[in-house]
Structure 1
Amino acid sequence: MIKLIGRALSALHRWAGNSWLVLIALGLALAALYVDDRRTRADRDAWASWAKAACAYAGASPDATTVERTNADGKRHTVKLPRGGACAEAVQDLAAFRAATLAGTARAFAGAAAEQQAKATRDRTTAQAESGNRAAALNTMEKADAQIRDDDRVDGSWFAALNRLGGLQPHD
């Protein structure tokens, strides 16, 4: 097959000389440029379509426009924005809003986490104190049980210990 192609090229060279090969090379180069141009136009059209959609989502137009602005002195004046200028400003405003919102959310989460940690610490401290009080009340109740007379009569100290154990009286 390769020999056949080689023979065909040598026959073509003998028939037309070098000019035929130059024309073929020129045709291939033009075909490559045409394909590259089509690919470039397709990429440009895709980016233009994306830009129009992004601008529409941002609430702006990609076209050149004139807007009124207020300067630092409070004077109103008109400004001509180039093509894509209003859209770029709208996208920047949205990005700034998103960053501010994320920062605010992070601050709120950090505050909530700190508050939850403080509550957990207070609860842990209270639980430890209650556990100590409960142990002391149980110890007092055991002592009061040990002092019960043989006739199973109890006095006020036994009832006081029972009330402390039940949480009805403050602990000493």
Structure 2
Amino acid sequence: MISLITGAFRALHKWAGNSWLVLIAMGIATACLYVDTRRTRADRDAWASWARETCAHAGAGTDAATIERKDAAGRTHKVRMPRGAVCREAVQDLAKFRADTLAATARVLGAAAAEREAKSSRDLVAARVETGNRAAALTTMEKADAQIRDDDRVDGNWFAALNRLGGLQPPD
């Protein structure tokens, strides 16, 4: 098989010389350039389609436009924007809005978490104080119960202890 191919190669070389090799190389190079050009055009078309779609979502066009701008003094001027510049600014504004919104959301959530933590700490302290007050009121009530006379008559100390136990009177 190899001898057949090498024989055909030798016969072609005797008949045409080296010119056919140059012709084949140029054909291969042309085919490679054609394929690369088609691939480049397909990429360009895909990017152009993506840009048009992105600009449409951003609410701007891709064409060149004349827009009005205010300078630092507050005067309005007409400015000629090149193709794609209006869309680029619209997309940048949307990206800035998104970043600002996320930062503001993070600040609000952080403040809410800090506030919740502070309230939780205050509630924990208040619960501990209330538990201590309840224990003290219960002890006072038990002492007042122990002082009840044999005729089951109670005095003002017993009622004060009852009111403290029920939360109707502040602790001592």
TM-score by length of 2: 0.89
1:82 and 1:26 mapped to 2: Cα distance?
Answer: 41
Aligned sequence identity (%): 71
Q: How does 1:29-48 map to 2 (within 5 A)?
A: 29-48=29-48
Q: How does 1:65-76 map to 2 (within 5 A)?
A: 65-76=65-76
Q: Which moved more, 1:66-75 or 1:147-156?
A: 147-156
Deviation track 1:101-126 (CA, whole Å, cap 9, x = no partner) reads 12221221122122112211211111
1:162 and 1:2 mapped to 2: Cα distance?
Answer: 116
Residue aligning to 1:118: 118
Task: Report the aligned-residue RMSD.
Answer: 1.9
Q: How does 1:127-166 map to 2 (within 5 A)?
A: 127-166=127-166
Quote how far apart the aligned CAs of 1:150 are.
4.1
2:134 and 2:6 mapped to 1: Cα distance?
Answer: 104
Residue aligning to 2:9: 9
1:112 and 1:8 mapped to 2: Cα distance?
Answer: 86
The one-letter code matched in structure 2 to 1:100 is D
Q: Structure 1 residues 142 and 5, CA, compared in 2 at 3 Å: closer, same or farther?
A: farther
Quote how far apart the aligned CAs of 1:132 are.
0.8
The one-letter code matched in structure 2 to 1:63 is D
Unaligned runs of 5+ in 1: none
3-state SS of paired residue (2:66): strand
Q: Structure 1 residues 143 and 5, CA, compared in 2 at 3 Å: closer, same or farther?
A: farther
The one-letter code matched in structure 1 to 2:56 is A
Unaligned runs of 5+ in 2: none
The one-letter code matched in structure 2 to 1:88 is R
Residue aligning to 1:23: 23
Please identify runs of 4+ aligned residues in structure 1 that moved more than 6 A: none
3-state SS of paired residue (1:79): strand
1:124 and 1:11 mapped to 2: Cα distance?
Answer: 101
The one-letter code matched in structure 2 to 1:118 is A
TM-score by length of 1: 0.89
Quote how far apart the aligned CAs of 1:65 are.
0.7
Q: Which moved more, 1:47-56 or 1:140-149?
A: 140-149
1:132 and 1:3 mapped to 2: Cα distance?
Answer: 107
Q: Structure 1 residues 143 and 14, CA, compared in 2 at 3 Å: closer, same or farther?
A: farther
Q: Structure 1 residues 139 and 8, CA, compared in 2 at 3 Å: closer, same or farther?
A: farther
Q: How does 1:49-64 map to 2 (within 5 A)?
A: 49-64=49-64
